[in-house]
Structure 1
Amino acid sequence: MYLEARKNEVSESTLSGYHYRLKHFIRWCQDVEGLDNLNDLSGRDLQRFKTWRRDDGGLKPITLQGQLDALRIFIRWCGSIDAVEQDLHEKFDALMPELKKTDEQSESILRSDAAGELLEYQRKFEWASRAHVIMELLWHTGIRLGTLHSLDVDDYDPDGERVELHHRPDTGTPLKNGREGERMIALDAEICRLLEDWIEQNRHPVEDDEGREPLLTSRNGRMNRSSIRDAVYRVTRPCFYAECPKGRDPDNCEGGSYGGYSKCPVNVSPHDVRRGSITYFLTEDVPEKVVSDRMNVGQDVLDKHYDKRDEAVKVEQRRGYLDNI
């Protein structure tokens, strides 16, 4: 009922995100608690769910926070239709995990120094590999994972040195903001050379189920979103391109093998790469309006969720503009 109610309010990818985050709550209700009527749900139950999800899922605090926040919004909606007590969603204020500033900084963003070290490694040892193309495009353009997944070979214009983004929901690749997300993104010469080498040498020359030629491919067609996400988790592990900051042996680490990359305590997700890219562009004095248009994010959302510059950086940048007056 909840997903049906939200269907016309949000994008398909956002709706899928709601489903993904809430399915763990459904599993807990059914398999752990045997709960089949939300009218019986209490604050104590929510605390037990939080503990179970944290321990059973082995989640990072920031990931757990995101899943609890999605559940809070769902419970608030349930209260509006008398499916739970109307004020039950207020119990989440005490449930949200506290994030240490160091955790927030290290886990929720790819820092520019780490990005530079990783990309330098890939340019030297993995030039025009699929993972290299993924990381260069995510960092250079700041696009979302879904946008990267949607790209076709024909969307790349080598003469204009740019890539064109299209909303194609009828053939399985919608953009998060629909038609408003359509735009052209300028590329530099190095990224263009990378894409041309990828297309000519390493890309599997296949079509997807819709007869389109995806930019990112596997042997079977368009590379799926989960595989792109796994590729990011794999290469952003510091042990992939440098040394583990926690002194772990990659051969014995839970995040050191296929299927477990997301368990690395210090790697990042595609969205963290996007956040890092936006912060980097802003730190380099690119105007906020330019970053907003390029990354397709409103300036209010950019300020609240993506701009991770510390206040000392911001004040010095403002000083640079004011000194010229």
Structure 2
Amino acid sequence: MSDLDPIDPRTALELYLEDKKGTLSRSSIKSHRYRISTFVDWLDDRGITNLNDLTGRLIKEYQLDGRKASDWAPSTEKSMLDTTRVFVRWCESIEAVDSGLSERVQSPTLTGDEGVRDQQLDAETAQEVLKNLDRFHYCSRAHVTLAVMWYTMARCGAVRSLDLADYDADKQSLRFTHRPETGTPLKNKHTSERYVAIPESLADLLDDWIELKRPDVTDEYGRDPLITTTNGRIAKGTIAGYAYKYTQPCRYNRRCPLGRNPETCESTEHAKVSSCPESVSPHPFRRGSITHWLRSDVPTQIVSDRADVSEGVIDKHYDERTDQEKMEQRREYLDNV
């Protein structure tokens, strides 16, 4: 603790929010302010005026108090603790708290009816995963696959269904088409067909993939897949393997929250990447992306059309926003009327 720089919790919160303005939407900033302010107020009530004194035990007491005194619903508790973890991790970067403290923030895993929205990949983690791929595995098949999945909110089957001709470089868009007769059906058949605009960064990545890395092969039906292996069209199992592998914290964050040694951990073996308790399957990419766009003030109807999922299903299975976040977003809309 002697190497830490003293800072009071509220000053750290303001610095954190200022730092995040370049990467988070205005609504996400508001959500983070609300959640972390709750934590900072709790610390203030207990006389914690220096974040250097923050411990895993204090964070656990905060979690238990929130559950008991504030009557947090399980999904609310998860959202509050997930954001607290992000804040604590940021505090590590400015030497305000002990290194590794964020790994002791235990966010609950939802099950049963509480777990309709169980796992998701939050925007901050997704950015770390993609940044790691961009830096160390640029334009690899894994990089392209996971980037397309995150930015389009598409299901695995939709990602693998894409052909070269479905990518329009000039319009920076992707076209999803139901082609069951040649092995790539879409979940909701023809109603799943849609055009999706993509950001310039993804378009640049796809351009480089096509020009530099894409194996020039056709699939068994003579089609030209956008994402290929040396054997043809990418398989769903390969997509799942990429998700499990590159969401392992030891790969994108260079440390394991469970204290395992990556050199000896069997979860880092190719055939066992899905056994890592901290990594996620492809579906949380979709869930996390949907929640990210909702928190970025994109109307539910637009997210529904882009992700090929009904508004009702979004509300039940995907929307991780708390009631407080929804209220603040409604307030912003009303203030502009």
**Residue deviations 1:36-93 (CA, integer Å, cap 9, x gap):** xxxxxxxxxxxxxxxxxxxxxxxxxxxxxxxxxxxxxxxxxxxxxxxxxxxxxxxxxx
Q: Runs of 5+ in structure 2 lacking a partner?
A: 1-105
- The equivalent residue for 2:126 is 115
Provide TM-score, normalisation by structure 1.
0.67
| One-letter code aligned to 1:122 | L
8 Å Cα contact 1:234-1:261 kept in structure 2: yes
**Residue deviations 1:8-60 (CA, integer Å, cap 9, x gap):** xxxxxxxxxxxxxxxxxxxxxxxxxxxxxxxxxxxxxxxxxxxxxxxxxxxxx
Greater CA deviation, 243-252 or 267-276?
243-252
**Residue deviations 1:268-317 (CA, integer Å, cap 9, x gap):** 11111000000000000000010000001000001000111122322221
Match among 138, 162, 170 for residue 159 of structure 1: 170
The Cα of 1:107 is off from its aligned counterpart by 6.2
CA distance, structure 2, for counterparts of residue 254 and residue 127 of structure 1: 26
| One-letter code aligned to 2:252 | Y
Where do residues 32-71 of structure 1 align in structure 2 (5 Å cutoff)? none
Q: Are positions 1:201 and 2:215 aligned together? A: no
Where do residues 57-136 of structure 1 align in structure 2 (5 Å cutoff)? 102-104=108-110, 108-136=119-147
- The equivalent residue for 2:314 is 302
RMSD of equivalent CA atoms: 1.6
CA distance, structure 1, for counterparts of residue 240 and residue 156 of structure 2: 8
Corresponding pairs, count: 226
8 Å Cα contact 1:107-1:267 kept in structure 2: no
The Cα of 1:128 is off from its aligned counterpart by 0.9
Provide TM-score, normalisation by structure 2.
0.65
| One-letter code aligned to 1:223 | I
- The equivalent residue for 1:147 is 158
Percent identity of equivalent pairs: 45
| One-letter code aligned to 1:323 | D
8 Å Cα contact 1:107-1:268 kept in structure 2: no
Q: Are positions 1:220 and 2:231 aligned together? A: yes
| Superposition misfits of 4+ residues, deviation over 6 angstroms | none
- The equivalent residue for 1:285 is 297
CA distance, structure 2, for counterparts of residue 123 and residue 271 of structure 1: 21
- The equivalent residue for 2:327 is 315
- The equivalent residue for 1:269 is 281
Match among 168, 179, 182 for residue 179 of structure 2: 168
Match among 186, 190, 193 for residue 179 of structure 1: 190
CA distance, structure 1, for counterparts of residue 260 and residue 324 of structure 2: 33
- Partner-residue secondary structure (3-state), 1:170: helix
8 Å Cα contact 1:167-1:173 kept in structure 2: yes
Q: Are positions 1:238 and 2:249 aligned together? A: yes
Q: Are positions 1:210 and 2:221 aligned together? A: yes
CA distance, structure 2, for counterparts of residue 121 and residue 216 of structure 1: 20
CA distance, structure 2, for counterparts of residue 227 and residue 278 of structure 1: 22
CA distance, structure 2, for counterparts of residue 313 and residue 240 of structure 1: 32
Q: Runs of 5+ in structure 1 lacking a partner?
A: 1-99
| One-letter code aligned to 1:318 | R
| One-letter code aligned to 1:102 | P
The Cα of 1:322 is off from its aligned counterpart by 2.2
| One-letter code aligned to 2:313 | V
Greater CA deviation, 103-112 or 299-308?
103-112
8 Å Cα contact 1:107-1:266 kept in structure 2: no
- The equivalent residue for 2:264 is 252
| One-letter code aligned to 1:316 | E
CA distance, structure 1, for counterparts of residue 271 and residue 324 of structure 2: 40
CA distance, structure 2, for counterparts of residue 116 and residue 101 of structure 1: 19
